[in-house]
Structure 1
Amino acid sequence: MITDVHLAIMSNALGIVLFLLVVLYHYINANYSRS
């Protein structure tokens, strides 16, 4: 059984992962365009 707490933790983790992926993507792009 999934509770509201489980949903909150899953959505929080998903948001953090997506945010980190976007940051890494921009960081890699910036490094490639500089060199």
Structure 2
Amino acid sequence: MERLYILFYQMSNLENYRWQTALLTHIIGLSINL
């Protein structure tokens, strides 16, 4: 049970990281366009 929770936590961290990376890429792209 605990292992499942850890796995879920890692997955949610990965999702967060992916979202932040996409946002950062988007902001950098906008800066370059300006």
Percent identity among equivalent residues? 6
Cα RMSD, aligned residues only: 1.2
Task: Say which structure is richer in helix.
Answer: 2
Runs of 4+ in 1 over 6 A off after TM superposition: none
Q: Structure 2 regions of 5+ residues with no counterpart?
A: none
Q: Taking structure 2 as the reference length, what is the TM-score of the superposition?
A: 0.88
Q: How many residue pairs were aligned?
A: 34
Q: Structure 1 regions of 5+ residues with no counterpart?
A: none
2:25 is aligned with 1:21: no
Q: Kindly provide the CA deviation profile for residues 1-35 of structure 1, in whole angstroms up to 9, marking residues without a partner as x.
A: x7111001100000000010000000000001101
Look up the SS of the partner of 2:4 in the other structure: helix
Amino acid corresponding to residue 11 of structure 2 in structure 1: N
Q: Taking structure 1 as the reference length, what is the TM-score of the superposition?
A: 0.86
